[in-house]
């Protein structure tokens, strides 16, 4: 196979479609390993920033990006025709849900159309976007085969789920094991050889559908267990028990227990979304994914519970939510990242504003944002407390000085156990 020779000698050119949290780290890693990489994105601003050597992804240092741009190993473009130079094309586009919780494959279809326009014999096409089992074979393959090329012979096709964890310094693109499933042995062999040039470990599986299911299992496992512990948090609140103390004691068991933690809801592009891809696919087989649906219901109700705890806190001082000034501390979906996708803070803010609260926020990772009717800018916490009735810890960034918050805010609702071990009359917990 000629492609294998080009991969092993690093003479193969990589094309990456989608330069976000998945595509950009992948592109830069391969460029730093010596491959020529063409990154394609429809966002002209992103492309301009990248070509100036400025990274907008925290996990990709600007110095690493600038290095590969300067060397000519990485080029970003808004011209899909540039993908014609690629021997390998990796699709890393979003796969959101529709309002009906059905998969929205718009971006995948658009990406596949772009690939089909430049498809040539001997190319390897890899889909990394999280999706339901069967997508690679049912959606991607027919579109490419329509060009008159025989799948697995004239071109190679595989699925390899992205497994990035933004903001995790321990596990990043290079050292997260890479699961790969091709449509035939040659496709799997080519994809494995490709990823082995950069990744520490590659795990081949028997088919794209297995690889697609792997990612959904991983995130469904997390969503269901988070749903369980969120329900436990609600139960403990009714019983007057500290759920955090319960979990800390339970996790001392050295076997048979894995700690999960409650919170204000689910955020990020994966965990709130991926299980519903699986649930949707299961319905096509007349199978009801009851755990997934129940976990979704429990997790989706947590922002409402947070608002109720804010109301409880304000009531303790004979104040109503309507007209009160409520300050959200941390709006990113998780600690130490700048990513707002599906952040529970957004729903909490919406609910508060809808009920008449005057809202503001502090997040050093998010300078400003617009969402629904909200148009807000970061307010430094050191001054924000001077004019609010209640602070709410939604995202527990490490940079926050929680000890000072306890003294500064007249009321403080803690949804993340950031104030562990601190007992004050002004503190209200999840």
- How crowded is residue 389: how many other Cβ atoms within 10 Å of its Cβ? 20
| Burial zone of 221 (CB within 10 Å; 0-12 exposed, 13-18 middle, 19+ buried) | middle
Q: Report CA 231 to chain centroid distance, whole Å.
A: 23
* 3-state secondary structure (DSSP) of residue 391: strand
| Burial zone of 49 (CB within 10 Å; 0-12 exposed, 13-18 middle, 19+ buried) | middle
92 as an active site residue: the answer is: no
Q: Report CA 11 to chain centroid distance, whole Å.
A: 32
Q: Supply the angle between the helices 62-71 and 23-32 in degrees, to the nearest 10.
A: 60
Rounded to 5 degrees, what angle do the CA atoms 239, 414, 21 make? Answer: 120
Q: Is the distance from CB of 151 to CB of 145 less than 8 angstroms?
A: yes
Q: Is the distance from CB of 60 to CB of 37 less than 8 angstroms?
A: no
DSSP string, 90-148: EE-----B-TTS-B--HHHHHHHHHHHHH--TT-EEEE-S---TTHIIIIIHHHHHTTT
DSSP 8-class letter at 193 = H
- List all residues 6 or more positions away from 249 whose beta carbon is below 8 Å from its beta carbon: none
Relative to beta strand 390-393, strand 412-414 is parallel
State both tokens at 397: 């960034």
DSSP string, 265-293: ---SSSTTTHHHHHHHHHHTTT---HHHH
Give CA–CA dist 202/17, Å, rounded.
21
Beta strand extents in 287-346 (DSSP E only): 325-329
DSSP string, 43-78: -HHHHHHHHTT--SSTTS-HHHHHHHHHHTSEEEES
Q: Which of 1, 22, 26 is nearest to 14 (CA)?
A: 26
Relative to beta strand 390-393, strand 374-377 is unpaired
**Residue whose entry in the numeric block shows the structure tokens 């060009």:** 147
Where in the sequence numbering do the catalytic residues fall? 270
């Amino acid at each position: 196979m000629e492609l294998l020779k080009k991969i092993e000698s690093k003479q193969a050119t990589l094309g990456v479609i989608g330069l976000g949290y998945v595509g950009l780290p992948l592109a830069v890693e391969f460029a730093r390993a010596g491959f020529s990489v063409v990154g394609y994105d429809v966002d002209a601003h992103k492309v301009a920033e990248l070509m100036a050597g400025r990274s907008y992804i925290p996990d990709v240092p600007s110095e690493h990006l600038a290095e590969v741009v300067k060397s000519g190993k990485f080029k970003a473009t808004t011209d899909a025709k540039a993908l014609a130079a690629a021997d390998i094309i990796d699709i890393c586009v979003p796969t959101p849900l529709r309002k009906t919780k059905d998969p929205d494959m718009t971006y995948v279809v658009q990406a596949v159309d772009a690939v089909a326009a430049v498809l040539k014999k001997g190319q390897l096409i890899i889909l990394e976007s999280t999706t339901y089992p069967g997508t690679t074979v049912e959606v991607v393959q027919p579109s490419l085969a329509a060009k008159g090329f025989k799948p697995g012979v004239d071109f190679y096709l595989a699925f390899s789920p992205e497994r990035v964890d933004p903001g995790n310094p321990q596990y990043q693109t290079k050292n997260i094991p890479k699961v790969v499933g091709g449509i035939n042995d040659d496709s799997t062999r080519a994809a494995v050889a490709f990823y082995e040039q950069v990744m520490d470990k590659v795990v081949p599986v028997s088919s794209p559908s297995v690889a697609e299911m792997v990612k959904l299992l991983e995130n469904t496992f997390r969503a269901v267990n988070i749903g369980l512990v969120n329900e436990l948090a609600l139960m403990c609140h009714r019983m007057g028990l500290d759920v955090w103390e319960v979990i800390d004691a339970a996790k001392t068991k050295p076997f048979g227990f894995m700690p999960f933690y409650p919170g204000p809801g689910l955020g990020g592009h994966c965990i709130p979304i991926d299980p519903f891809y699986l649930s949707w696919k299961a319905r096509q087989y007349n199978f009801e994914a009851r755990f997934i649906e129940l976990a979704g219901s429990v997790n989706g109700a947590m922002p409402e519970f947070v608002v109720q705890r804010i109301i409880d806190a304000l009531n303790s001082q004979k104040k109503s939510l309507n007209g009160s000034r409520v300050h959200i501390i941390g709006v990113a979906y998780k600690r130490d990242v700048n990513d707002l996708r599906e952040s529970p803070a957004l729903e909490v803010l919406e609910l508060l504003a809808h009920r008449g609260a005057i809202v503001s926020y502090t997040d050093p990772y998010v300078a400003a944002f617009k969402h629904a009717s909200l148009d807000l800018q970061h307010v430094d916490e050191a001054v924000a407390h001077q004019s609010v009735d209640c602070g709410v810890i939604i995202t527990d960034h490490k940079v926050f000085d929680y000890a000072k918050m306890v003294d500064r805010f007249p009321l403080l609702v803690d949804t993340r156990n950031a104030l562990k071990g601190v007992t004050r009359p002004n503190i209200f917990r999840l």
